[in-house]
Amino acid sequence: MPEQRKSFHQELDEIRDQIVELGALVREFIPRGTEVLLTGDMGGALALIDADDEIDALTLRVEEQCYNVLARQQPMASDMRSIVTAVWLTGELERSGDLMVNVAKAARRIYGATLDPRLRGLIERMSEEASRLISLSLDAYVERDASLGAALADIDDALDTIHGDYIEAIFDAHSADDLGLQPAVQLALVGRYYERIGDHAVNIGQRVQYMVTGWLPEQTGAARLRARAAFGDAADGDPSAEAPSDHEPIEDHDRPGEGPR
């Protein structure tokens, strides 16, 4: 392997390792923020908010390294997708960290409010699922596992279900006068923060699919749009033409795992 190419792949390994480090920080934030919320630990809330600077700094460092590699090495094909994916992943992870900072801020806003056992249990379950999804998304990235990346959308259904139960529990507690309006609103936002972390994990999974196969879900939608436009042109000259269904596959190259490499 030419020395320049060897150096390039070493840089890719460094970028991957830094993303793993960034993911580890975000995973640590999730149980920390949950503990702050459930215990009312205001000192812990402030410490978590301040610790977000470390995530921001590492995010910028990874992005700058990616841009430098792009400028110096001008990679092609799968190497290019690896770097583009790394840039996307830093954004998804950084925003996940920001969401746990929002949980810590919400904990300060509802300080003194009493949470019933049902709400506390659902918060703990959302935290566990969000942490699991982030872990799985990072596993998919490190192992270049497109199948796991694709599966994350289905795995995320568990968190969505818990989130729905949690919102119902907030309404029940508020209706029973066990929870004031302001804490209820803040807790509803907290549930949304956990749910959004799951969405970011799903996005990471989709980017892993792109890195490995060159395919993105948006490509299928774009293909449907082109097919409808082509049908419109054809229909002008053939009134009996039948419009393509959004639920029918377009072409093999628009399916997961069959994109250009």
Considering the domain architecture, whether residues 174 and 224 belong to the same structural domain is answered as no
Give the contacts of 52 (CB within 8 A, at least 6 positions apart). Answer: 29, 97, 98, 101
Considering the domain architecture, whether residues 7 and 131 belong to the same structural domain is answered as yes
Residue 230 confidence (pLDDT): 78
Considering the domain architecture, whether residues 133 and 229 belong to the same structural domain is answered as no
Amino acid identity, residue 236? D
Render each residue's pLDDT in the chain as its tens digit; 261 residues: 555 555 888 999 999 999 999 999 999 999 999 999 999 999 999 999 999 999 999 999 999 999 999 888 888 888 899 999 999 999 999 999 999 999 999 999 999 999 999 999 999 999 999 999 999 999 999 999 999 999 999 999 999 999 999 999 999 999 998 899 999 999 999 999 999 999 999 999 999 999 999 987 766 777 778 788 877 766 666 655 555 555 444 343 344 444 433
Considering the domain architecture, whether residues 100 and 228 belong to the same structural domain is answered as no
Is 167 domain-assigned?
Answer: yes
Q: Which domain holds residue 229?
A: 220-254
Give the contacts of 222 (CB within 8 A, at least 6 positions apart). Answer: none
Considering the domain architecture, whether residues 51 and 145 belong to the same structural domain is answered as yes
Tokens of 99: 């969401």
Considering the domain architecture, whether residues 168 and 109 belong to the same structural domain is answered as yes
Give the separation between CA 153 and CA 160, rounded to whole angstroms.
Answer: 11
Is 198 domain-assigned?
Answer: yes
Among residues 110, 131, 104, the alpha carbon closest in space to that of 49 is found at: 104
Is 230 domain-assigned?
Answer: yes
Is 261 domain-assigned?
Answer: no
Residue 220 confidence (pLDDT): 72
Is 260 domain-assigned?
Answer: no
Considering the domain architecture, whether residues 189 and 136 belong to the same structural domain is answered as yes
Considering the domain architecture, whether residues 141 and 229 belong to the same structural domain is answered as no
What does the CA dihedral 204, 49, 161, 115 come to, rounded to 10 degrees?
170
- Number of structural domains, the chain? 2
CA distances from 52 to 27, 33, 68, 69, 156 (A): 12, 12, 25, 26, 25
Torsion 110-116-120-125 (CA) sign: negative
Give the separation between CA 214 and CA 85, rounded to whole angstroms.
Answer: 11
Considering the domain architecture, whether residues 183 and 235 belong to the same structural domain is answered as no
Is 117 domain-assigned?
Answer: yes
Give the separation between CA 148 and CA 135, rounded to whole angstroms.
Answer: 11
Considering the domain architecture, whether residues 244 and 204 belong to the same structural domain is answered as no
Tokens of 215: 């395919």
Q: What CATH number corresponds to the domain at position 63? A: 1.20.58.220
Instruction: Name the helix (H) or strand (E) containing 108.
Output: helix 77-109
Considering the domain architecture, whether residues 41 and 150 belong to the same structural domain is answered as yes
